[in-house]
Structure 1
C-alpha cells in the first residue's frame, strides 16, 4: 500500500496524469477507498452468485470454493484478497480506511450467514459456520498463492462441508459442551 500513488497509477494505466487526478480529486486516499469498495463489492457478488446457484448448504460451499479456485487460477496465482492484504499492511494509517476494511470483512461474513440462513441454517449455527467459511476461504487463498495449486480450495471446501450438519442445524460451541440426557431407566 505504501507504493500506491496516483503517478504510478497513471503510468500503469497509460493514462494522462491529469485524468487520474480528475477522477480521484481526493488523491491517494480516495483511490484506496474506491479500491476497497470495489473489492468488497466483488467479494459479496462472488458469495451471492454461489448462494443463488445452491439448493443446499453443501452446494453453496462447493460453489463458493470452486469460484475462488477458478479466480485464483485465472490470475495465475497472482491474485489475492486486497481487503485481507490491506488489513495486514502496516501502512494503513487512516482510521476511516481501517474501518472500511473491517466493514468489508463483516459484510462478507453477513452475506455468507444470510446464504446459510436461506438454505436452512439459522442463528448461532449460521453465524459460526459463516466465520468458519470465511476463514477457510482466506486460508485457501493464501495457500494457493504460496503453492501454485488450487488444491487448497478443494481441501478447505471439504473441511467446511464436513462441519455442515446433516440435520440442517449446526450445534454451537455451548451446545456441544452440554451433556446429553440419559435415557429413562427401565422398569424391572
Structure 2
C-alpha cells in the first residue's frame, strides 16, 4: 500500500477511535468518520471492505493496544503493583479530564452496546479486556502472588478501574477514580 493510502487508513482509524469512544458505536455515522478523517467515501470501502464493523474493530483493537502498552510500560518502569495501579488510574483520569470527559475507557461503551448482538466486536472488546487483565496479573505474579491470586486480583482491579471510569465520566468528576484508587490500595494490601 502506498504511503498516502497508509496515511488515509491511519486517519480513518484515528477518527473512528475518537468518535466511537466519545459517542459509542451506534452514535457514530460513517460520514462523520470520513469528515473527521479527511477522506473520500471510496477510501473507506477500499481500506475497510467489511464496512463500519471492520473499521470499528480495528479502531477498538488500536485503542485496546494503547491501554495495554500503557499498563505494560508502567509495569516495567515502576517498582510495584501499587505504584502501577495508581499510575494507570492517574493516566486514565488525566486523559478523561483533558478530553472534557468525552473519553473514559475506549472499550466500555462499545462493549455495553454490542456484547449481545455483534460477535465480532464483542470479541475485540473481550480480547482488549483480557490483555489488560493479563498485564495486571503478570505484574501481580512478579510481585509474588500465586497465579490464581494474581488472576483474581487482576480481574477485581480491572473491574474497579472500569467502574470508576464509568462513574467519573457520568459525574464529570475525578472523585470516583480517587476513591477507587484508595480501594485498590486496600485490596493490594489485603
- TM-score band w.r.t. shorter chain: 0.7 to 0.9
Q: Does the alignment pair 1:138 with 2:159? A: no
- 2:97 corresponding residue in structure 1: 73
Provide the rounded CA distance (Å) in 2 between the counterparts of 1:91 and 1:134.
18
Q: Does the alignment pair 1:157 with 2:178? A: no
Q: Does the alignment pair 1:60 with 2:78? A: no
1:29-79 CA deviation, whole Å, 9 max, x = no partner?
210110121121012012112212221221112111111111111211110
Question: In structure 2, the residue corresponding to 1:70 is in which secondary structure?
Answer: helix
Question: In structure 1, the residue corresponding to 2:104 is in which secondary structure?
Answer: coil
Provide the rounded CA distance (Å) in 2 between the counterparts of 1:127 and 1:22.
41
- 1:182 corresponding residue in structure 2: none
Asked if 2 retains the 8 angstrom alpha-carbon contact of 1:72 and 1:78, the reply is yes
Asked if 2 retains the 8 angstrom alpha-carbon contact of 1:69 and 1:150, the reply is yes
Provide the rounded CA distance (Å) in 2 between the counterparts of 1:91 and 1:133.
21
How far is 1:131 from its partner?
1.0
Provide the rounded CA distance (Å) in 2 between the counterparts of 1:92 and 1:159.
31
Q: Return 85-94 or 120-129, whichever deviates more.
A: 85-94
Aligned-residue RMSD, C-alpha: 1.9
How far is 1:19 from its partner?
2.4
2:61 aligned to 21, 37, 58, which one? Answer: 37
- What number of residue pairs does the alignment pair up? 166
Asked if 2 retains the 8 angstrom alpha-carbon contact of 1:55 and 1:119, the reply is no
Structure 1 or 2, whichever has the larger Rg, is: 1
Provide the rounded CA distance (Å) in 2 between the counterparts of 1:2 and 1:59.
36
Question: What TM-score, normalized by structure 2, do the two folds share?
Answer: 0.78
C-alpha change, 1:28 and 1:91, in structure 2 (3 Å) is: farther
- 1:19 corresponding residue in structure 2: 43
1:129-166 CA deviation, whole Å, 9 max, x = no partner?
1011101111111121122222222211110111113x
Higher helix share: 2
Provide the rounded CA distance (Å) in 2 between the counterparts of 1:23 and 1:156.
40
Question: In structure 2, the residue corresponding to 1:76 is in which secondary structure?
Answer: coil
Provide the rounded CA distance (Å) in 2 between the counterparts of 1:164 and 1:3.
38
Q: Does the alignment pair 1:148 with 2:172? A: yes
Provide the rounded CA distance (Å) in 2 between the counterparts of 1:59 and 1:137.
14
Question: What TM-score, normalized by structure 1, do the two folds share?
Answer: 0.79
